[in-house]
Structure 1
Amino acid sequence: MSDAPWPEGVGRRLLNTVDSTNAEAFRLAPQMAGPCWILGGEQTAGRGRRARAWASPRGNFHGTLLLHPKEPAAEVALRSFAAALALREAFVAVTGLPAAFSLKWPNDVLLNGGKVAGILLESSGAGQGVAHLAIGIGVNLIAAPDPAQVEAGAVRPVSLLSETGVRVSPEAFLAALAPAYARWEAIFTSQGFAPLRAEWLAHAARLGEVIRARTGAETREGLFETIDDSGALILRQPGGSVAIPAAEVFF
Protein backbone atom coordinates (compact mmCIF):
# COMPACT_ATOMS: atom_id res chain seq x y z
CA MET A 1 0.00 0.00 0.00
CA SER A 2 1.04 3.60 -0.55
CA ASP A 3 2.51 5.39 2.45
CA ALA A 4 2.78 8.79 0.74
CA PRO A 5 1.06 11.57 2.70
CA TRP A 6 -2.05 13.31 1.45
CA PRO A 7 -0.95 16.24 -0.76
CA GLU A 8 -0.84 19.59 0.99
CA GLY A 9 -3.51 22.09 0.00
CA VAL A 10 -5.72 19.51 -1.72
CA GLY A 11 -9.27 19.09 -0.44
CA ARG A 12 -11.16 15.82 -0.08
CA ARG A 13 -14.91 15.23 -0.09
CA LEU A 14 -16.39 11.78 0.45
CA LEU A 15 -20.01 11.29 -0.63
CA ASN A 16 -22.15 8.23 -0.01
CA THR A 17 -24.17 8.63 -3.22
CA VAL A 18 -23.85 11.12 -6.06
CA ASP A 19 -25.24 11.42 -9.57
CA SER A 20 -21.77 11.97 -11.05
CA THR A 21 -18.58 13.07 -9.34
CA ASN A 22 -17.78 15.27 -12.36
CA ALA A 23 -21.19 16.95 -12.06
CA GLU A 24 -20.61 17.47 -8.34
CA ALA A 25 -17.21 18.99 -9.11
CA PHE A 26 -18.78 21.64 -11.33
CA ARG A 27 -21.42 22.39 -8.70
CA LEU A 28 -18.67 22.93 -6.12
CA ALA A 29 -16.25 24.74 -8.44
CA PRO A 30 -17.36 28.35 -7.83
CA GLN A 31 -16.81 28.04 -4.08
CA MET A 32 -13.53 26.06 -4.20
CA ALA A 33 -10.30 28.08 -4.30
CA GLY A 34 -7.92 25.13 -4.62
CA PRO A 35 -7.86 21.57 -5.94
CA CYS A 36 -10.23 19.03 -4.42
CA TRP A 37 -10.87 15.30 -4.79
CA ILE A 38 -14.50 14.16 -4.75
CA LEU A 39 -15.15 10.47 -4.09
CA GLY A 40 -18.57 8.90 -4.51
CA GLY A 41 -19.52 5.64 -2.82
CA GLU A 42 -21.80 5.05 -5.78
CA GLN A 43 -22.86 7.05 -8.83
CA THR A 44 -26.42 7.04 -10.11
CA ALA A 45 -25.58 8.71 -13.44
CA GLY A 46 -21.91 7.94 -14.07
CA ARG A 47 -20.66 8.48 -17.60
CA GLY A 48 -17.64 7.71 -19.69
CA ARG A 49 -16.31 9.16 -22.92
CA ARG A 50 -18.79 10.13 -25.65
CA ALA A 51 -21.55 10.31 -22.99
CA ARG A 52 -21.59 6.53 -22.56
CA ALA A 53 -23.02 5.20 -19.32
CA TRP A 54 -20.34 4.09 -16.83
CA ALA A 55 -21.31 1.26 -14.49
CA SER A 56 -20.78 2.53 -10.95
CA PRO A 57 -21.45 -0.19 -8.37
CA ARG A 58 -20.53 0.35 -4.75
CA GLY A 59 -17.01 -0.85 -4.02
CA ASN A 60 -15.56 0.43 -7.28
CA PHE A 61 -13.77 3.78 -7.44
CA HIS A 62 -15.70 6.80 -8.72
CA GLY A 63 -13.68 9.96 -8.20
CA THR A 64 -13.03 13.39 -9.66
CA LEU A 65 -10.21 15.85 -9.16
CA LEU A 66 -11.37 19.45 -9.49
CA LEU A 67 -8.70 21.88 -10.70
CA HIS A 68 -8.60 25.55 -11.68
CA PRO A 69 -5.95 25.50 -14.42
CA LYS A 70 -4.17 28.53 -15.83
CA GLU A 71 -2.89 27.18 -19.16
CA PRO A 72 -4.58 27.38 -22.60
CA ALA A 73 -7.20 24.71 -23.24
CA ALA A 74 -4.94 22.54 -25.43
CA GLU A 75 -2.35 22.32 -22.67
CA VAL A 76 -4.98 21.72 -19.98
CA ALA A 77 -6.12 18.60 -21.85
CA LEU A 78 -2.63 17.07 -21.47
CA ARG A 79 -3.50 16.41 -17.84
CA SER A 80 -5.20 13.23 -19.01
CA PHE A 81 -1.67 11.82 -19.35
CA ALA A 82 -0.79 12.97 -15.82
CA ALA A 83 -3.91 11.19 -14.58
CA ALA A 84 -3.01 8.00 -16.44
CA LEU A 85 0.50 7.99 -15.01
CA ALA A 86 -0.81 8.63 -11.50
CA LEU A 87 -3.36 5.85 -11.88
CA ARG A 88 -0.71 3.39 -12.94
CA GLU A 89 1.47 4.38 -9.96
CA ALA A 90 -1.46 3.94 -7.58
CA PHE A 91 -2.16 0.47 -8.99
CA VAL A 92 1.48 -0.51 -8.58
CA ALA A 93 1.48 0.87 -5.03
CA VAL A 94 -1.51 -1.23 -3.96
CA THR A 95 -0.53 -4.43 -5.82
CA GLY A 96 3.26 -4.45 -6.18
CA LEU A 97 2.77 -5.66 -9.78
CA PRO A 98 4.39 -3.07 -12.09
CA ALA A 99 4.54 -5.35 -15.12
CA ALA A 100 0.78 -5.97 -15.06
CA PHE A 101 -0.29 -2.40 -15.88
CA SER A 102 -0.02 -0.54 -19.17
CA LEU A 103 -1.51 2.62 -20.66
CA LYS A 104 -3.89 2.66 -23.65
CA TRP A 105 -4.14 5.82 -25.71
CA PRO A 106 -5.83 8.14 -25.13
CA ASN A 107 -6.96 7.60 -21.54
CA ASP A 108 -7.39 4.04 -20.28
CA VAL A 109 -5.33 1.89 -17.93
CA LEU A 110 -4.98 -1.80 -18.73
CA LEU A 111 -4.42 -4.68 -16.33
CA ASN A 112 -3.17 -7.90 -17.96
CA GLY A 113 -4.42 -6.41 -21.23
CA GLY A 114 -7.97 -5.71 -19.99
CA LYS A 115 -9.46 -2.29 -19.20
CA VAL A 116 -9.42 -1.66 -15.46
CA ALA A 117 -9.78 2.14 -15.42
CA GLY A 118 -10.90 5.05 -17.56
CA ILE A 119 -10.42 8.82 -17.44
CA LEU A 120 -12.86 11.54 -18.51
CA LEU A 121 -11.78 15.19 -18.66
CA GLU A 122 -14.52 17.84 -18.71
CA SER A 123 -14.07 21.59 -18.45
CA SER A 124 -15.99 24.83 -18.17
CA GLY A 125 -14.64 27.87 -19.95
CA ALA A 126 -13.71 31.44 -19.13
CA GLY A 127 -13.08 33.44 -22.29
CA GLN A 128 -10.33 31.62 -24.20
CA GLY A 129 -9.22 29.65 -21.17
CA VAL A 130 -10.52 26.97 -18.83
CA ALA A 131 -12.05 28.11 -15.56
CA HIS A 132 -12.58 24.67 -14.03
CA LEU A 133 -11.32 21.21 -14.98
CA ALA A 134 -12.85 17.96 -13.75
CA ILE A 135 -10.65 14.88 -14.11
CA GLY A 136 -13.09 12.02 -13.67
CA ILE A 137 -11.66 8.58 -12.92
CA GLY A 138 -13.47 5.28 -12.78
CA VAL A 139 -11.72 2.14 -11.56
CA ASN A 140 -13.05 -1.42 -11.54
CA LEU A 141 -11.75 -2.26 -8.08
CA ILE A 142 -14.04 -5.19 -7.33
CA ALA A 143 -16.39 -5.54 -10.33
CA ALA A 144 -16.23 -5.07 -14.10
CA PRO A 145 -19.04 -4.70 -16.64
CA ASP A 146 -20.24 -7.78 -18.51
CA PRO A 147 -18.09 -8.10 -21.67
CA ALA A 148 -21.33 -8.43 -23.65
CA GLN A 149 -22.13 -4.82 -22.71
CA VAL A 150 -19.06 -3.32 -24.40
CA GLU A 151 -18.88 -2.70 -28.12
CA ALA A 152 -17.41 -5.29 -30.45
CA GLY A 153 -13.64 -5.12 -30.69
CA ALA A 154 -13.23 -3.11 -27.50
CA VAL A 155 -10.77 -4.17 -24.83
CA ARG A 156 -12.36 -6.58 -22.34
CA PRO A 157 -13.24 -5.03 -18.99
CA VAL A 158 -11.54 -6.50 -15.92
CA SER A 159 -11.48 -5.76 -12.20
CA LEU A 160 -8.50 -5.39 -9.92
CA LEU A 161 -9.90 -8.05 -7.58
CA SER A 162 -10.55 -10.69 -10.25
CA GLU A 163 -7.18 -10.25 -11.96
CA THR A 164 -4.89 -9.88 -8.93
CA GLY A 165 -6.82 -11.06 -5.88
CA VAL A 166 -6.11 -7.67 -4.27
CA ARG A 167 -9.10 -6.08 -2.55
CA VAL A 168 -8.70 -2.38 -1.87
CA SER A 169 -11.32 0.13 -0.75
CA PRO A 170 -12.04 3.27 -2.80
CA GLU A 171 -10.74 5.39 0.09
CA ALA A 172 -7.47 3.46 0.25
CA PHE A 173 -7.07 3.72 -3.51
CA LEU A 174 -7.62 7.47 -3.34
CA ALA A 175 -4.94 7.69 -0.64
CA ALA A 176 -2.48 6.21 -3.18
CA LEU A 177 -3.81 8.11 -6.19
CA ALA A 178 -3.92 11.65 -4.79
CA PRO A 179 -0.21 11.97 -3.93
CA ALA A 180 0.78 10.28 -7.20
CA TYR A 181 -1.30 12.78 -9.16
CA ALA A 182 0.05 15.73 -7.16
CA ARG A 183 3.59 14.69 -8.11
CA TRP A 184 2.80 14.50 -11.82
CA GLU A 185 0.88 17.78 -11.65
CA ALA A 186 3.98 19.44 -10.17
CA ILE A 187 6.16 17.98 -12.92
CA PHE A 188 3.71 19.12 -15.61
CA THR A 189 3.41 22.68 -14.33
CA SER A 190 7.17 23.08 -13.82
CA GLN A 191 8.62 21.10 -16.75
CA GLY A 192 5.82 20.85 -19.29
CA PHE A 193 4.58 17.80 -21.17
CA ALA A 194 7.94 16.30 -22.22
CA PRO A 195 8.61 14.23 -19.05
CA LEU A 196 5.00 13.01 -19.00
CA ARG A 197 5.21 12.02 -22.66
CA ALA A 198 8.44 10.07 -22.08
CA GLU A 199 7.07 8.20 -19.05
CA TRP A 200 3.73 7.51 -20.74
CA LEU A 201 5.48 6.02 -23.79
CA ALA A 202 7.53 3.80 -21.47
CA HIS A 203 4.29 2.10 -20.40
CA ALA A 204 2.24 2.39 -23.62
CA ALA A 205 0.22 -0.64 -24.69
CA ARG A 206 0.87 -1.90 -28.24
CA LEU A 207 3.57 0.66 -29.03
CA GLY A 208 5.29 -0.43 -32.24
CA GLU A 209 2.38 -2.70 -33.17
CA VAL A 210 -0.42 -2.38 -35.71
CA ILE A 211 -3.59 -0.85 -34.24
CA ARG A 212 -6.84 0.68 -35.55
CA ALA A 213 -7.95 4.23 -34.77
CA ARG A 214 -11.59 5.13 -35.39
CA THR A 215 -12.74 8.72 -35.74
CA GLY A 216 -16.45 8.92 -36.47
CA ALA A 217 -17.13 6.77 -39.54
CA GLU A 218 -13.46 6.55 -40.56
CA THR A 219 -11.13 3.82 -39.32
CA ARG A 220 -7.39 3.98 -40.00
CA GLU A 221 -4.97 1.13 -39.48
CA GLY A 222 -1.26 1.55 -39.00
CA LEU A 223 1.76 1.11 -36.77
CA PHE A 224 1.50 2.87 -33.41
CA GLU A 225 4.69 4.89 -33.74
CA THR A 226 4.55 7.37 -30.82
CA ILE A 227 2.58 10.29 -29.42
CA ASP A 228 3.61 13.81 -30.36
CA ASP A 229 4.13 16.95 -28.25
CA SER A 230 0.38 17.64 -28.30
CA GLY A 231 -0.51 14.12 -27.12
CA ALA A 232 -1.79 13.10 -30.56
CA LEU A 233 -1.42 9.50 -31.71
CA ILE A 234 1.14 9.08 -34.50
CA LEU A 235 0.13 6.26 -36.80
CA ARG A 236 2.56 5.10 -39.50
CA GLN A 237 0.80 4.12 -42.71
CA PRO A 238 2.15 3.17 -46.15
CA GLY A 239 1.85 6.79 -47.32
CA GLY A 240 3.63 8.20 -44.25
CA SER A 241 2.91 9.05 -40.64
CA VAL A 242 -0.36 10.73 -39.65
CA ALA A 243 -1.22 12.56 -36.41
CA ILE A 244 -4.60 11.71 -34.90
CA PRO A 245 -5.64 14.09 -32.09
CA ALA A 246 -8.74 12.13 -31.00
CA ALA A 247 -10.00 8.63 -31.77
CA GLU A 248 -11.14 5.31 -30.36
CA VAL A 249 -8.31 2.78 -30.52
CA PHE A 250 -8.84 -0.91 -31.17
CA PHE A 251 -6.21 -3.64 -30.99
Structure 2
Amino acid sequence: MSGQDWPEGTGRHVLAVTDSTNAHALREAPVLQGPAWFLGLEQTAGRGRRARAWASPRGNFHATLLLAPTESPEQVALRSFAAALALRDAFVALTGLPAAFSLKWPNDVLLNGAKVAGILLEATSAGAGVQALAIGIGVNLIAHPDPSVMEAGALPAVSLLSETGVRIAPETFLDALAPAYARWEAMFTAQGFAPLRAAWLAHAAKIGEPIRARTGKDTHFGVFDTIDSQGNLILLTATGRLAIPAAEVFF
Protein backbone atom coordinates (compact mmCIF):
# COMPACT_ATOMS: atom_id res chain seq x y z
CA MET A 1 0.00 0.00 0.00
CA SER A 2 1.20 3.50 -0.76
CA GLY A 3 -0.10 6.73 0.69
CA GLN A 4 -2.54 7.27 3.56
CA ASP A 5 -5.46 7.88 1.20
CA TRP A 6 -5.09 4.77 -0.95
CA PRO A 7 -8.61 3.32 -1.39
CA GLU A 8 -9.22 0.37 0.86
CA GLY A 9 -9.50 -2.98 -0.87
CA THR A 10 -7.94 -1.75 -4.12
CA GLY A 11 -4.81 -3.43 -5.46
CA ARG A 12 -1.73 -1.44 -6.51
CA HIS A 13 0.63 -3.06 -9.02
CA VAL A 14 3.67 -1.27 -10.47
CA LEU A 15 5.13 -2.92 -13.58
CA ALA A 16 8.64 -2.03 -14.75
CA VAL A 17 7.60 -2.71 -18.34
CA THR A 18 4.44 -4.01 -20.03
CA ASP A 19 2.94 -4.09 -23.50
CA SER A 20 -0.19 -2.14 -22.53
CA THR A 21 -1.59 -1.61 -19.06
CA ASN A 22 -5.11 -2.23 -20.41
CA ALA A 23 -4.09 -5.50 -22.02
CA HIS A 24 -2.20 -6.57 -18.90
CA ALA A 25 -5.13 -5.72 -16.64
CA LEU A 26 -7.62 -7.67 -18.75
CA ARG A 27 -5.30 -10.68 -18.75
CA GLU A 28 -5.22 -10.52 -14.95
CA ALA A 29 -9.00 -10.10 -14.61
CA PRO A 30 -9.91 -13.80 -14.14
CA VAL A 31 -7.75 -14.16 -11.00
CA LEU A 32 -8.17 -10.77 -9.33
CA GLN A 33 -10.31 -10.20 -6.26
CA GLY A 34 -11.62 -6.63 -6.20
CA PRO A 35 -10.54 -3.52 -8.09
CA ALA A 36 -6.87 -2.99 -8.92
CA TRP A 37 -4.61 -0.37 -10.46
CA PHE A 38 -1.79 -1.35 -12.81
CA LEU A 39 0.90 1.27 -13.43
CA GLY A 40 3.34 0.61 -16.26
CA LEU A 41 6.56 2.58 -15.92
CA GLU A 42 7.18 1.72 -19.55
CA GLN A 43 4.73 0.57 -22.24
CA THR A 44 5.87 -1.10 -25.44
CA ALA A 45 2.48 -1.19 -27.20
CA GLY A 46 0.37 1.55 -25.72
CA ARG A 47 -2.74 2.54 -27.63
CA GLY A 48 -5.33 5.27 -27.69
CA ARG A 49 -8.79 5.54 -29.14
CA ARG A 50 -9.55 3.94 -32.52
CA ALA A 51 -6.51 1.66 -32.04
CA ARG A 52 -4.06 4.52 -32.50
CA ALA A 53 -0.58 4.10 -31.06
CA TRP A 54 -0.05 6.01 -27.80
CA ALA A 55 3.48 7.28 -27.20
CA SER A 56 4.65 5.92 -23.84
CA PRO A 57 8.02 7.37 -22.88
CA ARG A 58 9.39 6.52 -19.44
CA GLY A 59 8.43 9.25 -16.98
CA ASN A 60 4.96 9.70 -18.39
CA PHE A 61 1.94 8.07 -16.73
CA HIS A 62 0.36 4.92 -18.17
CA ALA A 63 -2.04 3.10 -15.85
CA THR A 64 -5.23 1.10 -15.83
CA LEU A 65 -7.93 0.60 -13.24
CA LEU A 66 -9.53 -2.84 -13.52
CA LEU A 67 -13.12 -3.18 -12.29
CA ALA A 68 -15.83 -5.85 -12.39
CA PRO A 69 -18.94 -3.69 -12.91
CA THR A 70 -22.48 -4.99 -12.62
CA GLU A 71 -24.47 -2.37 -14.56
CA SER A 72 -25.55 -2.44 -18.19
CA PRO A 73 -22.83 -1.73 -20.79
CA GLU A 74 -24.32 1.72 -21.39
CA GLN A 75 -24.00 2.59 -17.70
CA VAL A 76 -20.54 1.07 -17.45
CA ALA A 77 -19.32 3.33 -20.26
CA LEU A 78 -20.23 6.42 -18.23
CA ARG A 79 -17.21 5.70 -16.02
CA SER A 80 -15.11 7.57 -18.58
CA PHE A 81 -16.61 10.73 -17.06
CA ALA A 82 -15.65 9.56 -13.55
CA ALA A 83 -12.11 9.02 -14.80
CA ALA A 84 -11.96 12.49 -16.38
CA LEU A 85 -13.19 14.13 -13.17
CA ALA A 86 -10.70 12.13 -11.10
CA LEU A 87 -7.88 13.13 -13.42
CA ARG A 88 -8.77 16.78 -13.06
CA ASP A 89 -8.92 16.42 -9.25
CA ALA A 90 -5.46 14.80 -9.22
CA PHE A 91 -3.98 17.52 -11.42
CA VAL A 92 -5.44 20.27 -9.26
CA ALA A 93 -4.29 18.60 -6.03
CA LEU A 94 -0.73 18.28 -7.33
CA THR A 95 -0.42 21.70 -8.98
CA GLY A 96 -2.82 24.04 -7.18
CA LEU A 97 -3.95 25.36 -10.60
CA PRO A 98 -7.71 24.71 -10.86
CA ALA A 99 -8.30 27.23 -13.64
CA ALA A 100 -5.73 25.56 -15.92
CA PHE A 101 -7.55 22.24 -16.38
CA SER A 102 -10.70 21.58 -18.40
CA LEU A 103 -12.49 18.53 -19.82
CA LYS A 104 -12.97 17.75 -23.52
CA TRP A 105 -15.78 15.42 -24.58
CA PRO A 106 -15.67 12.49 -24.66
CA ASN A 107 -12.55 11.63 -22.66
CA ASP A 108 -9.62 14.04 -22.71
CA VAL A 109 -8.23 16.43 -20.12
CA LEU A 110 -6.86 19.76 -21.28
CA LEU A 111 -4.17 21.94 -19.72
CA ASN A 112 -4.32 25.57 -20.87
CA GLY A 113 -6.48 24.37 -23.77
CA ALA A 114 -4.10 21.66 -25.00
CA LYS A 115 -4.30 17.89 -24.47
CA VAL A 116 -2.44 16.58 -21.44
CA ALA A 117 -4.29 13.31 -20.77
CA GLY A 118 -6.55 10.75 -22.42
CA ILE A 119 -8.78 7.89 -21.32
CA LEU A 120 -9.49 4.57 -23.05
CA LEU A 121 -12.16 2.15 -21.80
CA GLU A 122 -11.94 -1.48 -22.89
CA ALA A 123 -14.02 -4.39 -21.63
CA THR A 124 -14.55 -8.11 -21.85
CA SER A 125 -18.12 -9.32 -22.07
CA ALA A 126 -20.12 -11.95 -20.25
CA GLY A 127 -23.34 -12.68 -22.10
CA ALA A 128 -25.06 -9.33 -22.60
CA GLY A 129 -23.12 -7.71 -19.76
CA VAL A 130 -19.59 -6.62 -18.93
CA GLN A 131 -17.27 -9.07 -17.22
CA ALA A 132 -14.22 -6.85 -16.71
CA LEU A 133 -13.66 -3.15 -17.39
CA ALA A 134 -10.23 -1.63 -17.98
CA ILE A 135 -10.06 2.15 -17.58
CA GLY A 136 -6.80 3.10 -19.24
CA ILE A 137 -5.30 6.51 -18.53
CA GLY A 138 -2.34 8.17 -20.21
CA VAL A 139 -0.88 11.43 -18.92
CA ASN A 140 1.88 13.53 -20.47
CA LEU A 141 3.74 14.18 -17.22
CA ILE A 142 7.12 15.08 -18.70
CA ALA A 143 6.87 14.63 -22.49
CA HIS A 144 4.28 15.02 -25.23
CA PRO A 145 3.96 13.95 -28.88
CA ASP A 146 5.50 16.12 -31.55
CA PRO A 147 2.96 18.07 -33.65
CA SER A 148 4.18 16.21 -36.75
CA VAL A 149 2.61 12.96 -35.51
CA MET A 150 -0.71 14.52 -34.51
CA GLU A 151 -3.83 14.25 -36.66
CA ALA A 152 -4.59 17.32 -38.78
CA GLY A 153 -6.90 19.65 -36.86
CA ALA A 154 -6.30 17.91 -33.53
CA LEU A 155 -5.57 19.95 -30.45
CA PRO A 156 -1.88 20.39 -29.69
CA ALA A 157 -0.46 18.23 -26.93
CA VAL A 158 1.48 19.49 -23.94
CA SER A 159 3.08 17.96 -20.87
CA LEU A 160 2.49 18.91 -17.27
CA LEU A 161 6.19 19.76 -16.97
CA SER A 162 6.33 21.95 -20.07
CA GLU A 163 3.24 23.96 -19.16
CA THR A 164 3.59 24.31 -15.38
CA GLY A 165 7.18 23.49 -14.50
CA VAL A 166 5.85 20.88 -12.05
CA ARG A 167 7.60 17.50 -12.24
CA ILE A 168 5.53 14.61 -10.88
CA ALA A 169 6.65 10.97 -10.74
CA PRO A 170 4.17 8.42 -12.12
CA GLU A 171 3.83 6.71 -8.71
CA THR A 172 3.05 10.05 -7.07
CA PHE A 173 0.41 10.78 -9.68
CA LEU A 174 -1.17 7.37 -9.12
CA ASP A 175 -1.38 7.99 -5.37
CA ALA A 176 -3.39 11.17 -6.08
CA LEU A 177 -5.51 9.66 -8.85
CA ALA A 178 -6.63 6.44 -7.15
CA PRO A 179 -8.41 8.07 -4.18
CA ALA A 180 -9.87 10.75 -6.47
CA TYR A 181 -11.35 8.06 -8.70
CA ALA A 182 -12.64 6.10 -5.71
CA ARG A 183 -14.66 9.15 -4.60
CA TRP A 184 -16.32 9.55 -8.01
CA GLU A 185 -16.92 5.79 -8.26
CA ALA A 186 -18.68 5.81 -4.88
CA MET A 187 -20.85 8.72 -6.00
CA PHE A 188 -21.66 7.04 -9.31
CA THR A 189 -22.69 3.73 -7.72
CA ALA A 190 -24.76 5.47 -5.04
CA GLN A 191 -26.38 8.31 -7.02
CA GLY A 192 -26.02 7.46 -10.69
CA PHE A 193 -24.71 9.68 -13.46
CA ALA A 194 -26.50 12.94 -12.57
CA PRO A 195 -23.91 14.36 -10.10
CA LEU A 196 -21.05 13.36 -12.40
CA ARG A 197 -22.77 15.00 -15.36
CA ALA A 198 -23.20 18.24 -13.41
CA ALA A 199 -19.58 18.24 -12.26
CA TRP A 200 -18.27 17.40 -15.72
CA LEU A 201 -20.29 20.19 -17.34
CA ALA A 202 -18.93 22.66 -14.77
CA HIS A 203 -15.42 22.03 -16.14
CA ALA A 204 -16.23 21.35 -19.81
CA ALA A 205 -14.25 23.05 -22.56
CA LYS A 206 -16.07 25.01 -25.29
CA ILE A 207 -19.65 24.80 -23.96
CA GLY A 208 -21.76 27.32 -25.87
CA GLU A 209 -19.17 27.57 -28.66
CA PRO A 210 -19.06 26.20 -32.21
CA ILE A 211 -17.35 22.83 -32.61
CA ARG A 212 -17.02 20.10 -35.21
CA ALA A 213 -17.93 16.49 -34.37
CA ARG A 214 -16.78 13.77 -36.74
CA THR A 215 -18.46 10.36 -36.56
CA GLY A 216 -17.47 7.45 -38.80
CA LYS A 217 -18.45 9.00 -42.13
CA ASP A 218 -20.17 12.26 -41.22
CA THR A 219 -19.00 15.58 -39.86
CA HIS A 220 -21.47 17.72 -37.91
CA PHE A 221 -21.06 21.43 -37.22
CA GLY A 222 -22.87 23.17 -34.40
CA VAL A 223 -22.77 24.72 -30.96
CA PHE A 224 -21.81 22.47 -28.04
CA ASP A 225 -24.91 22.76 -25.86
CA THR A 226 -24.51 20.10 -23.16
CA ILE A 227 -24.22 16.36 -22.54
CA ASP A 228 -27.39 14.40 -21.82
CA SER A 229 -28.19 11.80 -19.17
CA GLN A 230 -26.55 9.09 -21.30
CA GLY A 231 -23.34 11.07 -21.80
CA ASN A 232 -24.17 11.93 -25.43
CA LEU A 233 -22.86 15.18 -26.88
CA ILE A 234 -25.75 17.54 -27.64
CA LEU A 235 -25.02 19.72 -30.63
CA LEU A 236 -27.22 22.60 -31.78
CA THR A 237 -27.05 22.40 -35.57
CA ALA A 238 -28.73 24.33 -38.36
CA THR A 239 -31.35 21.57 -38.52
CA GLY A 240 -31.97 21.19 -34.77
CA ARG A 241 -30.62 19.43 -31.70
CA LEU A 242 -28.46 16.41 -32.39
CA ALA A 243 -27.42 13.76 -29.83
CA ILE A 244 -24.07 12.18 -30.71
CA PRO A 245 -22.99 9.05 -28.76
CA ALA A 246 -19.45 8.83 -30.12
CA ALA A 247 -17.31 11.18 -32.23
CA GLU A 248 -14.00 12.91 -32.60
CA VAL A 249 -14.45 16.55 -31.56
CA PHE A 250 -12.48 19.42 -33.10
CA PHE A 251 -12.48 23.01 -31.86
Class of the TM-score when normalised by the shorter of the 2 chains? over 0.9
Please show how residues 17-166 of structure 1 align to structure 2 within 5 Å. Answer: 17-166=17-166
Cα distance between partner residues in 2 of 1:121 and 1:172: 23
Provide the C-alpha distance between the structure 1 equivalents of 2:231 and 2:159, rounded to a whole number of angstroms.
Answer: 27
Give the percent of matched residue pairs that are identical in Structure 1 and Structure 2. 73
Residue identity matched to 2:243: A
Between the aligned partners of 1:155 and 1:239, the Cα distance in structure 2 is: 27
Which amino acid in the other structure matches residue 53 of structure 1? A
- Corresponding position of 1:220: 220
Gaps spanning 5+ residues in structure 2: where?
none
- Post-superposition offset of 1:250: 0.1
Measured in 2, the distance between the counterparts of 1:204 and 1:211 equals 13
SS at match of 2:42: strand
Cα offset for 1:239?
Answer: 1.6
After superposing on structure 2, the runs of 4+ consecutive aligned residues of structure 1 that deviate more than 2 Å are none
Letter in 1 for 2:62: H
1:16 aligned onto 2:44: no
TM-score, reference length from structure 1: 0.98
Q: How many residue pairs were aligned? A: 249
1:4 Cα shift?
A: 6.0
Q: Distance in 2 between the 1:31 and 1:4 partners?
A: 26
Deviations 1:18-45 (A, max 9, x none): 0000000011000002000000011000
Equivalent in the alignment of 2:231: 231
Whether the aligned pair in 2 keeps the contact of 1:4 and 1:176 (CA below 8 Å) is no
Query: 1-side partners of 2:151 and 2:23: how far apart?
Result: 25
Q: Report the Cα distance in structure 2 between the residues aligned to 1:33 and 1:70, rounded to whole angstroms.
A: 15
Partner of 2:189: 189
Gap runs ≥5 in structure 1? none
Tell me the TM-score normalized by structure 2: 0.98
CA deviation digits over 1:127-181, x for unaligned, max 9? 1110000000000000000011001110101000000000000000000000000
Q: 2 CA distance for matches of 1:184 and 1:54?
A: 26
